[in-house]
Amino acid sequence: MKPTFFDFHLFPVPEGAQPRNAIKGAGGKDVWIWYQAETAQQAEMEDFLIKVFGAAKIDLAQHTRYICLTKQESISSSQLEGSSTAKFVFLFGIDGKRLGLHFQLPLYRPVVMGETAFIQVDDIAEIFEERKAGKKEKSGHLWRTLKACFNV
């Protein structure tokens, strides 16, 4: 006999329904991008995201919905309007549990759940700093993933 009533895991859902920072982008291609940055870095990280996704012919403002979370912020992403139609969800250094996702996400390898591919990648600030230092390991992984996702 099992010692508990439930024979499945229970996961808490983050209480926040909306992120503190505004959700940006028109979302024309149902691509969602989650990243974290300090307020002072946010504009610089968004400029970098424009370049990164632009190389894959994805316009950040027109094709994506992008959200900057604060360092400790957790929300229930499934409660956000339009999130159920996402085709790709990129998590830049954000643990999926912070968004109410309770499955393993290996780095740079899409995990498909329903109609959505979830992709865990390194923190955008780490990739940015690596590129500034003239290195390409993390950005190379990201580029290969973007090419596979968007047929570039």
Query: What's the whole-number mean pLDDT along residues 123-143?
Result: 97
Quickly state the pLDDT bin for 10 (edges 50, 70, 90).
very low
Q: In sequence order, what DSSP letters do the residues of 53-75 get, joined into one string?
A: HHHTT--HHHHEEEEEEPTT--B
Which comes out higher in pLDDT, residue 2 or 132? 132
Helix (H, G, I), strand (E, B) or coil at 35: strand
Q: What is the pLDDT of residue 22?
A: 82
- pLDDT reading at 6 higher than 70: no
- pLDDT reading at 128 higher than 70: yes
Quickly state the pLDDT bin for 108 (edges 50, 70, 90).
very high
User: Other CB atoms closer than 10 Å to residue 87's CB: what's the count?
Assistant: 12
Q: Mind listing the pLDDT tens digit for each residue in 51-99?
A: 999 999 999 999 999 999 988 777 777 677 778 899 999 999 999 988 8
Q: What domains can you pick out in the chain, each with its CATH number?
A: 31-150 (3.40.470.10)
Cα–Cα distance between 119 and 122 in angstroms, integer? 10
Output the pTM of the full model.
Answer: 0.87
Contact in structure between 90 and 66 (CB atoms under 8 Å): no
- pLDDT reading at 109 higher than 80: yes
Q: Mind listing the pLDDT tens digit for each residue in 19-53?
A: 677 889 999 999 999 999 988 999 999 999 999 99
Which of 88-102, 109-123, 134-148 has the weakest average pLDDT?
A: 88-102
Q: Which of 93, 34, 123 shows the shortest CA–CA distance to 131?
A: 123
